[in-house]
Structure 1
Amino acid sequence: MEWLSYLTDFKAMGIEWATFAMFGMLLILLLTGMPLAFVTLLVALIFALGWFGANAVPLITSRIFSFVNSFVFVSVPMFVLMAAILDRSGIARDLFDAMRLVGGRLRGGVAIQTLLVAVVLAAMSGIIGGEVVLLGLIALPQMLRLGYDRKLAIGVCCAGGALGTMIPPSIVLIIYGLTANVSIGDLFTASFLPGLILAGLYCAYILFRAYLNPSLAPVPEAGSIPRAEKLRLLKGLILPVLVVTFVLGSIYGGIASVTEASAVGVFGVTLSTMVRREFSLALLTGAARQTLATVGMIVWIGIGATALVGVFNLMGGIRFVSALITGISDNPTVIILFMMLMLFVLGMFLDWVGIALLTMPIFVPIVVDLGFDPVWFGVVFAMNMQVSFLSPPFGPAAFYLKSVAPKDISLGEIFQALLPFIGLQIFALALLIMFPGITGR
């Protein structure tokens, strides 16, 4: 029983060994299949009792309260509800049809059309999973029917759906802003151009591949669109553009806060379904259930991660890890690159919410001490999370698409299709690090 008495007094281990013991325990419990939220909360409780005794428990609860009590956090369920209503309406399908006016006879036009729809959907809700599923249901069958290369079509749907990470109103940026105590409005302003640059890189890649090898993206059959049909298609653009304009315009114009703008967005999407005569009690209750499930997951991960980081901070662990990271090199850029590597590795195994809440309390003070802008770093973090959404073995975008893709498309084929787009994301990340002015900071 000597080992048991030793574990009940973690102070005897010292912060160095306690840090390794904490992360070792996290890894072992995660491998058992236990949800991240419960793992982090359990480890936080064990180390709080072992390091400080029973008196530390109120410290955990007070830190959790400060996390869930943030007014800005209300915007998260609002934007999730927007995405859930979009999932159940025909707005996305009509938007995709309307983009035919842009694609036209362009080689690879349907893929470009898909990316444009992805950008608009990202600007409406900022939820990644729903966008990937919507594109998988609407765009993927269309591209496969037209004879597009399977891997190109798969990659476009997954990469396009993940653009919600970068393009405001991004939930990733909201969580980062809450964790790093940074203005979310500033984050939205700084991330808009990098998000469009990434979408532009995707478009350039599609056009390059399509014109280099025309068989990858056949041109649709010739035929002019009648004026009446054009007018009908244009109607599909009006409501989404109005919602995006009111949501982002109210934020950038200083008319509304992010939280207030999210409420405007929910009202706008709901009103759109009423105008389209799609609104029903079943639609509303289904969207509410989906919102509860998604936000419940985010809140529980936030509670566990906040408790764990709070205990680790009181133990002196954050100072220890900060000293380790800053001791790697005297060159600040090398330290930033090391952080990106850590985030990339964590992104292969953990959910982005957990990554943000576990690492940003450690990384952001280091970034500020190095003289970097925390808003710029937030955009860099969001771009890194783009990679995590696509990268194997647990890239969530691949699993979202697999759930709605034809049965003959395997998960392995999806991950293979994502490799070029992961390369483009890493290139965009490198651009952000080399040229911080892209964010306007």
Structure 2
Amino acid sequence: MSLVCAPIFLVHLVSIALTKALQSYSRSRLEERTEALNRPHRADEIAHLDHRTERASESIAVLSGLFLASAIGIGTAHLQTPAAIVVLIFLICVLGVVGYVVAGVIGEVFAEPIIDSLWPATTVIRAVAFPLTMGAEAIERIVEWSSGSDKNGPRPASLEVEVPNESEDDEDQEPEIPEKARDLLSSVVELTRTNVSEIMQPRSAIVALPATVTAEAAAESFRKSGRSRIPLYGSNRDDIVGMLLAKDLLNRMLFENDSSKVVPAAIARPVYRVPETKNAFNLLEEMRFRRAPMAIVLDEYGGVAGLVTIEDLLEQLVGPIHDEYDAPAPADPIVPLGGSKFELDASVDLEDLNDRFGVHLPTDDEYQTIGGLALHVLGRLPEPGATFSYEGLDFTVLEVADRSIRRLKMDLQPGSQGADGRTGRSA
């Protein structure tokens, strides 16, 4: 009997350690370990299956514990004196408690190494415990149904922030959270409720090149656009075949004596694609883990809906990020040019224009700024010099940069107006 109980007891302890490890491991530490051991995809796989594996490991621990308890009962039946039975039960209880505590502590302290080392064996653990875990899930669904809850899926992760009560004594009160930190936490929560389609750069704003482009033409596109990555497309703009990096292109052109021998499509990197319904917060984590600073957003039909960068996601948390090439915005976003003409920053709110000039620009549509109105009327990201009329006003696009309209000119008293008051044309 002891020959059978010893390996079962070992399985029991390992299952306890693995369960505790899965309950307490750090995703970032696990990623560092798996990357250092040249298996970075394992961390993503563990994150996807950790809950299922935890339940399976816990089931194995319970099952092995019941087996050991049954074995103890059978063993005590052969003892002759009550004193021997008491001593045996006492020793087994002490051994079981000590083993449980030690295994649990080891699982928490060495969570990441234990999970990484035992992960190949978890496939067997999940398979063996499948009947138990399925039974447990069925019982959960029955209990939730009987309690009137219609949410049988996994509960969403919650974000809890403890804010000190101002009524508490100063000596017991923890330092107050700064206002900027509160705003950042609010932005994080908002990002967890946002889809990529609400953040992405629209299809019309994407700078893309055909896969047949020459190295010289691609380099010129990088110079003019200021971008570091440009998608390459095949038969049409929905057929994105690769992502061309300016660094890769320039390195290859410098390495080759004849730049005409450089084929941009041959050095393009794989494209990371996500659906437009993808949660923005989850995408930020995935892009960081995959080291993919840019992703192509697909619509429900598989066509290209837009493009999102990790900078776009970070700007949702900390606000606009400007680099040394961005022109500083003027103190007043509305600059008089003389007469009825004004230069406007594209971020000027339409309500502010209505209040300041007594005009009647729409404020109940999906756009709130004059730049959004210009994109809506023109139907695309325009070139500087494009003009359009709206409700008796003339507008001219003055500056376009970084995938958006930056500045426009507004004329309150144009010399002519389109018949319907809403016309768009290019200069």
**Same fold at TM > 0.5:** no
User: Structure 1 length normalisation: TM-score?
Assistant: 0.22
Instruction: Compare the two structures and name the one with the higher strand fraction.
Output: 2
1 or 2 for the larger relative contact order (CA 8 Å, sep ≥6)?
1
TM-score, length-scaled by structure 2 = 0.23
Structure (1 or 2) with the larger CA radius of gyration: 2
Q: Which has the higher helix share?
A: 1
